[in-house]
Structure 1
Amino acid sequence: MRVLVTGGAGFIGSHYVRELVSGSYPAFAGAEVVVLDKLTYAGSETNLAPVAGKFEFVRGDICDPSVVAEQMRGVDVVVHFAAESHVDRSITGSADFVLTNVLGTQTLLQGALNAGVGRFVHVSTDEVYGSIEDGSWSENHVLEPNSPYSASKASSDLLARAFHRTHGLPVSITRCSNNYGPYQFPEKVIPVFVTNLIDGRKVPLYGDGLNVRDWLHVDDHCRGIQLVAEGGRPGEIYNIGGGTELTNRELTERLLAATGRDWSFVEPVQDRLGHDRRYSVDISKISAELGYKPQVDFEVGLADTVEWYRENRAWWEPLKERAQSAKG
């Protein structure tokens, strides 16, 4: 079996690769794994250092048809993580998001179709649904993206669906809630807050802090993706959630406690443009069909994540500098 992982040097993709080549997914034991990653600012080969030598790494752009065609040869399964994913960056400039998330996905879908790939898992986000006041989204909920990032992901989801309906490409789509865990690039809320607080720096809290997110440990997310890769039905969508909903204020309280800081380290800032109020996914479909259940207790997972950042300053310090440079 040959597995192509796009964006495998990023946060979630690298976790999937580390687990895959370490034998955590028995159904794919012995698979030949190829990682295709452009290594933009948020991707790093250091994320894959613990499993170096157990996979093939190709530096390339998913928007390049010749690169994609070459890497699709002999591939049985594609797991497509590669994406621009930071909402704030999409607000200040959306062109890269449309290029990578829409055109890049189309290029991969066409390449997979041409190569006769047997299964394609397209990794998406709950943000394509928009915002929900009460209840939880099922997979057939209308798409109402509110940021350029989520709009680009919704567009890629529709392309994936169209390639299945039009060409019969065996595509399954996953939509996850907010991820956290080790190796997350320090521009997302948990790593930013943890690293700032460790260094005695203030953290920015958007608006009134009452926006609600469902938190999903990256290990649970990747196990859900693997379940879909093994047994998901082509043409179907599967929500993957963690089952822990918190307001941003509640999350901040936990991070302050974990780092020994108080509210004097919190700096209220103007709310993000178009900031979605609440996300919540219904995971009954993937649970009933594929046996998914989140296994990482949030309190344990968060404590482990904070400790990982304490112990891995050499990993995140240069990346924070890179993030600041990329903003400039």
Structure 2
Amino acid sequence: MDFNSTVLVTGGSGFIGSHLVCSLVTRHPDWRIINLDILDYCCSPRSLESVEDRANYTFIRGDVCNSQLVNHIFNTENIDVIFHLAAKTHVETSFEAPASFQRVNIEGTKVLLAAAHQAPHQSQRFVYVSTDEVYGEGLDQVFDESSPVRPSNPYSTTKAAAEYLVRSYWDKYKFPIIITRSNNIYGPRQYTEKVIPKFLTLLQMNKKCTIQGTLPKSRHFLFVDDAINALRLVLEKGIVGEIYNVGTSCEILIMQLAKELVKMVKNVPDSEVNDWLEFVPDRPCVDLRYPISCEKLQQLGWRADVSWTEGIRQTVKWYQDNADFWSDQEPIRSKLEKVTNK
């Protein structure tokens, strides 16, 4: 079968990547979607069961840092679009193993850019999926795309460094890149090290939600469907060389989040909610909040359509209906007394 376009998604078996792959495969039967993923601990082949037998879907298990493999893909496939999502993203782990974050997030991006730029078939778009954390902490300031980059942890530092690499290909070669920086994305199939699925998994195990530190940390939560719509929109209408914030006005205190989930999962009266909360030591260099403006993306026609009430309802229901989805990932379950706010 001849396809009108070939799209490479790196990290397509991860949380955001699998939702993106499923959306592209389903909406565009005339596009060939190639998923390059190493299947790290936070990925599950089950995330792509709905599309794995589709004629326009191809899975390649491999490391984005493997230049021989990546070059082979670009030399043998006419890649038109790249969505680069493959990355290590767990902030707390980045303090413990920064070298692995540098390798995947920086070196992997370098390998991918070089292969795409040198390929005999020139790509039309290279969309790099970054994070609001590159801005650093914002207390009274709301960050737009022109705000300075001031990352404060090993994870966000590697994402910022990768952004500079991506930008350099635009500045030097006019290679058609677009960068997105999003708030916290949540929804079904997210791995249990992130704060919402972690709290839900703890509660399902009849354990308390563990909250790091006592400072009033909050995060802006964006439902995964809205994030995928943003990525599809920047591919269609985004201007090459530009950065787009993907944000939401839904800011939730981590304490409030825990209490809300306790009520939803345990169905206890207000007087018993605090019985399901436990404070643990904070991680180093924690940022209190990341407020961003996404007016630039909204001018392209994007809006966050899924309300917090509806998004968290869908998410809680999915974890209740799929309690064994991550059961083969036993190591993380022994670490669930820790919490991350990212």
**TM score, norm. by length of structure 1:** 0.95
Q: Match of 1:212, as an amino acid?
A: S
| 1:308 match | 318
| 1:282 match | 293
User: Over residues 182-236 of structure 1, what are the superposed CA-to-partner deviations in whole Å (9 max), with x where a residue is unaligned?
Assistant: 0000110000101111221112101125112110001111110111111211110
Distance in 1 between the 2:141 and 2:150 partners? 16
Q: Match of 1:59, as an amino acid?
A: R
Higher mean alpha-carbon deviation, 59-68 vs 257-266, is at: 257-266
User: Over residues 62-121 of structure 1, what are the superposed CA-to-partner deviations in whole Å (9 max), with x where a residue is unaligned?
Assistant: 111111112223000000110000001001111110000000001111111012211100
Is 1:61 aligned to residue 82 of structure 2?
no
**1:314 is paired with a residue of what secondary structure?**
coil
Q: Match of 2:80, as an amino acid?
A: D
Distance in 2 between the 1:325 and 1:300 partners? 30
Distance in 1 between the 2:335 and 2:167 partners? 33
Identity, in percent, stands at 38
Once the two structures are TM-superposed, the CA of residue 29 in structure 1 deviates from its matched residue by 4.8
Is 1:170 aligned to residue 176 of structure 2?
yes
Match of 1:216 among 208, 222, 225: 222
**2:126 is paired with a residue of what secondary structure?**
strand
**2:35 is paired with a residue of what secondary structure?**
strand
| 1:264 match | 275
| 2:339 match | none
Q: Match of 1:39, as an amino acid?
A: L
| 1:91 match | 95
**TM score, norm. by length of structure 2:** 0.91
Once the two structures are TM-superposed, the CA of residue 318 in structure 1 deviates from its matched residue by 2.1
Aligned ranges for residues 103-182 of structure 1 at < 5 Å? Answer: 103-115=107-119, 116-182=122-188
Once the two structures are TM-superposed, the CA of residue 326 in structure 1 deviates from its matched residue by 9.4
Q: Match of 2:180, as an amino acid?
A: T
| 2:235 match | 229
Cα RMSD for the two superposed structures: 1.4
- Cα contact 1:60–1:67 (8 A) shared by 2: yes
User: Over residues 166-191 of structure 1, what are the superposed CA-to-partner deviations in whole Å (9 max), with x where a residue is unaligned?
Assistant: 11110000000001100000110000
User: Over residues 29-49 of structure 1, what are the superposed CA-to-partner deviations in whole Å (9 max), with x where a residue is unaligned?
Assistant: 520000000111112211111
- Consecutive unaligned residues of structure 2, counting only runs of 5 or more, are 337-342
Distance in 1 between the 2:134 and 2:29 partners? 33
Distance in 2 between the 1:4 and 1:259 partners? 38
The size of the alignment, in residue pairs, is 321
Assess, with a 3 A threshold, how the Cα gap between structure 1 residues 213 and 99 changes in structure 2: closer, same or farther.
Answer: same
Assess, with a 3 A threshold, how the Cα gap between structure 1 residues 256 and 326 changes in structure 2: closer, same or farther.
Answer: closer
Q: Match of 2:83, as an amino acid?
A: V
Once the two structures are TM-superposed, the CA of residue 4 in structure 1 deviates from its matched residue by 0.3
- Cα contact 1:41–1:322 (8 A) shared by 2: no
Which structure has the highest helix share of the two? 1
| 2:340 match | none
- Consecutive unaligned residues of structure 1, counting only runs of 5 or more, are none
